[in-house]
Amino acid sequence: MKKIKFSKDEGLDFYKELNERIKNYFENNGIDKTGNRQMVFKISMYFMLIILFYGFMINSSHIAIFFIMYLCFGISVLLTAFNVSHDAAHGVAVKSKFWNKMLFQLSFNLQGNNTYVWGKNHNESHHLYTNIEGSDIDVLNNPLVRMTTSQNLRWFHKFQYLYVPFLYLFYSLNWFLFREFLMIFNRSSRTIKVTIPTWEIIKLIFFKIAYIIYMIVIPGMLLPFGWGYILIAFLLNHFLVSIVFTAVLGVSHISDYVTHPEADEQGKLDMSWPKLQMCTSVDYNVNSIFLNWVLGGFNAHALHHLFPNICHIHYIKLLPIFREVAKKYGITYMEMSYLMALKSHFRFLKKMGREVEFKTVTYEI
């Protein structure tokens, strides 16, 4: 991973005052930055939904009910990842370090994925070097999809805005079956090398086997529908989870409003870290209580990137402070409707497939 040096600019003053204002907010209201009782209720609710839907699924007497419960179970696991795994990975779902670790391990392993690979690289790569190729693990070098100007432009990329939605269907399945295994052998499309300790490789294999057992083997053994239907449900679940996952997260950093900064030969970026976060994140419907509840604050991505040490349950209350301080220092905060963010996402894919050089669109309030 290429380590980047940041420059000094107005983003540092913006971030300093924002930190102070937010610190005062929590102190003056006598509340903690981690999850509160509402968050504890959310955690309990999402885990109960997982247990409930799985119970209904393995006791289904009709094939239609089985498919519905299977998909509801899968979506419940994903929403638990949004609302519990993510905050727990940052140590802010609850106050206890032990329970944050346990919640992260439990909720993430339910998906058959490895907590070490995601947690470590999410915090040390994506959050630190957002959208910087060779430093951010989430910037891919996939020959089918051109994401940065340093990647070769090929004839078929002109159609990527049309076929990428089809590829998105396989996002979750690729993650489960290939992504982490390829990282072990350094064959990943990720633009940074990931080293996985031996013990984590053992855990990775164990939880993937466990996932197959409770998602395929147990339903196949207990239900009379036949293995073919079980496998179809498994695939449909991954397709649905993939679409929801990419729809929620894809528009935040893959947009023609955001930048993909490049450091100079000395590894120095021409902006500060706070400004990088503001230039590389698009937020949508941030005032929506419903989306904050369902998506775990993923729609307020810029705020989260600047303050990963704050539980998403507080985001809506902090937004007025965030906007005010950004405006004071002339820092652009890109917030919009989801439809606007989605259009920007596909414009980006279309432009990157047709233009050698790419210029971002100026965000206007």
Q: What is the pLDDT of residues 116-144, one digit of tens each?
A: 877 777 777 888 888 888 777 777 778 89
Give the model's pLDDT for residue 52. Answer: 97
Task: Provide the pLDDT confidence category of residue 114 given band limits of 50, 70 and 90.
Answer: confident
What average pLDDT is seen over the chain? 90
Which 3 state secondary structure label does DSSP give 330?
coil
Which 3 state secondary structure label does DSSP give 335?
strand
Q: Has residue 213 got a pLDDT over 80?
A: yes
Give the model's pLDDT for residue 141. Answer: 75
- The tens digit of pLDDT for each residue in 277-310 reads 999 999 999 999 999 999 999 999 999 999 999 9
The proportion of the chain whose per-residue pLDDT surpasses 90, expressed as a percent, equals 69
Residue 365 lies in a domain: no
Specify whether the backbone of 265 is left (phi greater than 0), alpha (psi in -120 to 50) or beta: alpha
Residue 5 lies in a domain: no
Give the model's pLDDT for residue 1. Answer: 60
For the chain, the domain total comes to: 1
Q: Has residue 276 got a pLDDT over 60?
A: yes
Give the model's pLDDT for residue 237. Answer: 96
Please tell me the pTM assigned to this model: 0.90
Rounded mean pLDDT of 260-282? Answer: 90
Residue 232 lies in a domain: yes
Q: Which domain range does residue 266 map to? A: 10-352
Rounded mean pLDDT of 95-99? Answer: 93
**Cα angle at 288 between 283 and 291, to 5 degrees?**
80
**Burial of 290: CB neighbours in 10 Å, binned 0-12, 13-18, 19+:** exposed
Please give the residue that has the higher pLDDT: either 325 or 147.
325
Residue 362 lies in a domain: no
Residue 358 lies in a domain: no
Rounded mean pLDDT of 351-359? Answer: 90
Residue 323 lies in a domain: yes
Task: Provide the pLDDT confidence category of residue 187 given band limits of 50, 70 and 90.
Answer: low
Rounded Cα gap, residues 354 and 158, in angstroms: 5
Residue 3 lies in a domain: no
Q: Has residue 146 got a pLDDT over 80?
A: yes
Give the model's pLDDT for residue 261. Answer: 86
Give the model's pLDDT for residue 177. Answer: 87
Supply the DSSP string of 166-224, one letter for each residue.
HHHTTHHHHIIIIIHHHHHTT--SBSS-----HHHHHHHHHHHHHHHIIIIIHHHHH-S
Give the model's pLDDT for residue 30. Answer: 93
**Which range has the top average pLDDT, 109-123, 124-138, 154-168, 256-270?**
154-168
Rounded Cα gap, residues 361 and 276, in angstroms: 16
Give the model's pLDDT for residue 190. Answer: 58
Q: Has residue 363 got a pLDDT over 90?
A: no
DSSP one-letter code for 132: -
Bridge partner residues of 336 (DSSP): 284
Residue 27 lies in a domain: yes
Asked if 233 and 66 count as a contact pair (C-beta separation under 8 A), the reply is yes
Please give the residue that has the higher pLDDT: either 218 or 136.
218
